[in-house]
A and B are shown apart, each in its own frame.
Chain A
């Protein structure tokens, strides 16, 4: 009995050391990043305000600023442009690019979804997302059900989720279907429609650009989380980045983070520790 127990313990010890050795041998991507002196981040250039090309032809946005803050922190406050390389990638290319190592990590309006968790390593969330209604400021809508009347028109996108939500929350309202977010927004602004469903941060950005618009503060879906993502299996790298994201949204980097958030969304971060809100 005792012999068996010792044997088992020895075996456990042996396996433990083996695993530890494997970890030491496998070089973390983090060491590579620090050695090369540059962080390579996959981003979008097609989704304002997260990543887009501005009037001057420069790649800017909330995700871009978060990437720059991450690089600056990794390299001890060095915010020179040579410390970061932004790789514009399509939404379909983001998974293969982190998998192959073409980029160190991705910051690309990417929502944590259960089926994605098995393919890629997410940090904790750096911003909330969700779906809200955008309406004209002078409109009477306070809650979703206020729109449920045949005299109102909701501007939808072509995707079926929007039609389902319209049927659920305001079945009596008329609907109009547009093929782009910009057209959907313009329809409400130009009084062609009375409300449009937009991603929460996108809606906040539009409202900041258009003071004659506002958001109906009753979300249509539970909040979702946008997160930084990277290749699975590199614990050292993941732990470092995840911890930094945590510091941004409610820790030592919170002031930098808040400044970025206010720059793009015109208000204080909504999804942080409650006592930070005031």
Chain B
């Protein structure tokens, strides 16, 4: 019995600090999430509609962003840019790095979804004299949207958990705050559980939102 009270008191004592940290994590997620989706969509469409050399360059950009660690990209923004005289606040470095990397993944997801729509539909549109961009917008994208909803939901959950990398550049998010509390009270197990529960709360809410959007797109497409 005693044991429970001690644990609960410990958890209660770190709660206020964790709520502040939750605000920071939510801010980063809320800024980087729409940025990543918008950027990913733009990159995917540009890649499809651009002439060969430009589309190849975009392809290279996507590969670079997908295939180097997020932590490293963020360190470059945070530590290397000030040496060039450009000093972006740690929080925005985190947002930018997360948005850039996830936009590359999302662009590939979008492209994959668009390509699953049969070539014949493009050909049919062309035969009817409809421009490619019009066909994409009115014919292909609505169908692709339904197929893309689930994988995007997945990607966004990963994005939220990836916000923890900012703990490496002195942004007081859930993870770094957890580490600081840990150094003070040495109660590793309890603190990690509390931190995990905060992330879980966040991703559950996001998951419900994604599910709702998924259903909406299905309804709209039907």
Spell out A's residues near B (CB within 8 Å): 155, 158-160, 176-179, 183, 186-187, 190-192
Cβ A177 vs Cβ B79 within 8 A: no
Docked complex Cα distance between A176 and B179 (Å): 14
Please, how many angstroms separate the alpha-carbon atoms of A187 and B79 in the complex? 7
The interface residues of chain A lying within 8 Å CB-to-CB of B172 are 177
Complex contacts, A160 vs chain B, CB 8 Å: 180, 183-184
CA distance A55 to B183 in the complex (A): 31
- Do the beta carbons of A177 and B184 come within 8 Å of each other? no
How many interface contacts (CB-CB < 8 Å) are there between A and B?
42
Q: What are 14 of the A-B contact pairs (CB < 8 Å)?
A: A155-B170, A158-B176, A160-B183, A176-B90, A177-B170, A177-B172, A177-B180, A178-B170, A179-B179, A183-B168, A183-B169, A190-B83, A191-B83, A192-B90
The 8 A-B pairs with the shortest beta carbon distances in the complex, nearest first, are A176-B170, A190-B79, A159-B183, A158-B183, A160-B184, A191-B82, A158-B180, A158-B179
Task: Return A161 CB to nearest CB of chain B, in Å.
Answer: 9
**Nearest CB of chain A from residue B117's CB, rounded to whole Å:** 46
Measured CB to CB, the closest approach of chain B to A26, in angstroms, equals 38
Residues of B within 8 A of A (CB): 78-80, 82-83, 87, 90, 167-170, 172, 176, 179-180, 182-184
* CB-defined contacts of A155 to chain B, threshold 8 Å: 170
User: Are B183 and A187 in contact (CB-based, < 8 A)?
Assistant: no
Q: How far is the CA of A191 from the CA of B86 in the complex (A)?
A: 11
Are the C-beta atoms of B78 and A177 separated by less than 8 Å? no
Q: How far is the CA of A159 from the CA of B181 in the complex (A)?
A: 9
The one of A159, A179, A192 in contact with B168, judged by C-beta atoms closer than 8 angstroms, is A179
Closest to A155 in B: B170
Query: Would you call B167 and A192 a contact (CB within 8 A)?
Result: no
A192 touches B79 (CB 8 A): yes
Inside 8 A of B167's CB, which chain A residues have their CB?
A: 179
B138 CB to nearest chain A CB (Å): 49
The chain B residue with its CB closest to the CB of A156 is: B170
Q: A157–B172 Cα gap in the complex (Å)?
A: 13
Give Cα A250–Cα B90 distance, bound, in whole angstroms: 48
CA gap between A214 and B7 in the complex, in Å: 45
Interfacial chain B residues near A159, Cβ < 8 Å: 183
> How distant is the Cα of A264 from the Cα of B170 in the complex, in angstroms?
30
Write the nearest CB–CB distance from B25 to chain A, whole angstroms. Answer: 15
B103 shortest CB reach to chain A, Å: 25
Q: How many angstroms between the C-alpha atoms of A68 and B162 in the bound complex?
A: 45
Contact A190 B179 (CB under 8 A): no
Residue of B nearest to A177 (CB): B170
Cα distance, A173 to B183, chains bound together (Å): 22
| B192 CB to nearest chain A CB (Å) | 14
- Looking at the assembled complex, report how far the CB atom of A251 sits from the nearest CB atom of chain B, in whole angstroms: 40
Contact B82 A190 (CB under 8 A): yes
Using Cβ atoms and an 8 Å threshold, which residues of chain A touch B180? 158, 160, 177
Residue of A nearest to B185 (CB): A160
Chain B residues near A158 (CB, 8 Å)? 176, 179-180, 182-183
Q: Which residues of B contact A179 (CB under 8 A)?
A: 167-168, 176, 179
